[in-house]
Amino acid sequence: MNIAAHLLQPAIRPAIGPAIGKARRWPVESQLRARRNAMVAATALAQQRAERDEVDEFLAARHQAPVPAARGRAAHG
């Protein structure tokens, strides 16, 4: 390192230090956000699946076959 770069380094560090810190934290924070989004989506899908199973069980208890979604929409529209 030359003397000019050595003398300028302390002056530059405060200006770019926060940007370097953000750049270093970005992959970790991004992964955490992606994982959280995936967990929220998985929870929503599991809840929908549970509701669908509950409806299927209710209809099976009444000895009726569940109506496929396409037929159900055509009958109402």
CB 66 within 8 A of CB 56: yes
Rounded CA-CA distance 45/51 in Å is: 10
pLDDT tens digits, 64-74 = 555 666 655 55
Q: Mapping DSSP to helix (H, G, I), strand (E, B) and coil, where does residue 77 land?
A: coil
pLDDT score of 9 more than 60: yes
- Token pair for 46: 């599991």
Q: Flag whether the pTM goes above 0.85.
A: no
pLDDT at 77 over 50: no
25-30 LR contacts (CB < 8 Å, sep 24+): none
